[in-house]
Structure 1
Amino acid sequence: MTHLNLQPGQKLRLGIGNSQTMYSSQVQDISKDGSILIDTPIYSGHLVPVRVGSIIQVIYFTKQGLFTFYAKVLNRFSGKLPLLEIMPISSVERLQRRQYFRLEKIIPFTYTIKDDEEGKVYKGIIQDISGGGLRCKVDKKLEIGTVINCNFTLNKEISVSGKVVRFEELLEKGYEIGLCYIDIDEKMREKIISYIFEEQRKSRLKGIE
């Protein structure tokens, strides 16, 4: 099986069993037979129990995009560096930049307007979020092209700048705007996408999707 840009040191996110959490890991080695050695994930200071024979979802990010595949756990190794040996059992799926998953989620956020010398802080509500941008409700009219600096909390603090690419006056008070991230750090984008995958995984496990 071909692993698209998967190399030792590559950061991974793992979906394991019925857990609603996506766990962090890292590639340590790739064998000629296609098996991969990865760090056993740690959560809250403890090793995450992973059964040999279980199927896990692997997600990783490169400059070329977002990739995911499923793998079977072949072996576990203890020691100073606890490892898992996994073998991919599905093809690697590549998602284009424009194919970011969009999550409908109500998230309070604050923002400042880039060209506002006073730096006044405004409040708004995120209605859905993706790795490419936000759909929000705000009280202030923001023209297309306006750049705002947004701060909100997912499972971590997020700070991003976005350009208004769409706005619509609502029948009730306020405006709905569409934001496209600009100059976003890829690590920050990774945090957002990882959160979205984690929330979607929770929904699937609860039988909502």
Structure 2
Amino acid sequence: MADIKIKMSINQKIEVINHNKKYNCRIQDIKENCFLIDAPFLLLHDTDIEFLISNDDEVFACSSKIIGHKKENNINLSIISMPYSVMKVQRREYYRLTIAEPIKYSSLPLGKHYKSIHNVPAEIFSKLKTSVTIDISGGGVKIITNENIAAGRYVILEMDIGETLDLLAVSIRCEKDENSKQYRVSLKYVKLDNRTRDKIISYIFMKSRELIKANK
């Protein structure tokens, strides 16, 4: 059971992430060791599930397990274990996972602004450099570079989350590490569609579970 306690109530809305998609569900019943939600999609038995739940002004990202199914009043219900992992989330900024993962990037010419990744000239993608992440979230990523990518400069990213994502981002902060002489660049995604964002969030949940299991 998670150390952080969350409040649940019948008819409370939760956002379930399943197969890189997000669904709005409601809690239909609460038991001592589980709760039931309406499930207009297939949730396989004995698989992990991630969901977001709000308590007052706070939002929590939770991991649970599907432990059964039933039908009541012609409503398909999934039986969910109480969360084994709970993380507080700032929804505006999304949950930020500290992790070192390979990533490729290329800074775009100064003064060039692009509305989406599809507007970036193809030749830019041949200039990708290899870097490593410091942290990843559904709203952006922080990477280490050997160059100063000043705030306001646009960057393209190639991120591997089990599939390759080409992303457009803009630097919002660049700090020099005086010891390594490298730069820590905070990047915010630009015009990221919800489906791609949900894929990144699902990947973050998966990596979080792996880290939790590895540290047990």
- Structure 1 length normalisation: TM-score? 0.63
From 189, 193, 201, give the equivalent of 1:185. 193
CA shift for structure 1 position 115 = 2.9
Q: Write the distance in 2 (CA, Å) between the matches of 1:153 and 1:72.
A: 28
Q: Is the deviation greater in 180-189 or in 108-117?
A: 108-117
Q: Write the distance in 1 (CA, Å) between the matches of 2:129 and 2:51.
A: 35
Q: Write the distance in 2 (CA, Å) between the matches of 1:204 and 1:176.
A: 26
- Structure 2 length normalisation: TM-score? 0.61
Pairs aligned (count): 177
1:189-200 pair list within 5 angstroms: 189-200=197-208
In the alignment, is the contact (CA less than 8 A) between 1:168 and 1:176 conserved in 2? yes
In the alignment, is the contact (CA less than 8 A) between 1:73 and 1:85 conserved in 2? no
RMSD, matched Cα: 4.1
Structure 1: segments with no counterpart, 5+ residues: 14-22, 42-47, 78-83
Give the 3-state SS of the residue equivalent to 1:184 in structure 2: coil
Indicate yes or no: 2:102 matched with 1:108.
yes
Q: Write the distance in 1 (CA, Å) between the matches of 2:21 and 2:154.
A: 35
Which residue of the partner structure matches residue 157 of structure 2?
150
Which residue of the partner structure matches residue 59 of structure 1?
51
In the alignment, is the contact (CA less than 8 A) between 1:25 and 1:39 conserved in 2? no
Among all aligned residue pairs of Structure 1 and Structure 2, give the percentage whose two residues are the same amino acid. Answer: 20
Q: Write the distance in 1 (CA, Å) between the matches of 2:161 and 2:89.
A: 22
Give the 3-state SS of the residue equivalent to 1:123 in structure 2: strand
Indicate yes or no: 2:104 matched with 1:97.
no
1:26-175 pair list within 5 angstroms: 35-37=37-39, 39-41=41-43, 49-50=45-46, 57-59=49-51, 73-75=67-69, 85-87=77-79, 95-115=89-109, 119=124, 120-170=127-177, 171-175=179-183
Q: Is the deviation greater in 116-125 or in 105-114?
A: 116-125
* AA in 2 matched with 1:4: K
Q: Write the distance in 2 (CA, Å) between the matches of 1:169 and 1:5.
A: 40
CA shift for structure 1 position 204 = 2.0
Q: Write the distance in 1 (CA, Å) between the matches of 2:169 and 2:21.
A: 30
CA shift for structure 1 position 87 = 4.2
Which residue of the partner structure matches residue 114 of structure 2?
none
CA shift for structure 1 position 98 = 2.5
CA shift for structure 1 position 134 = 1.1
CA shift for structure 1 position 39 = 4.3
CA shift for structure 1 position 191 = 0.9
Q: Write the distance in 2 (CA, Å) between the matches of 1:108 and 1:132.
A: 18
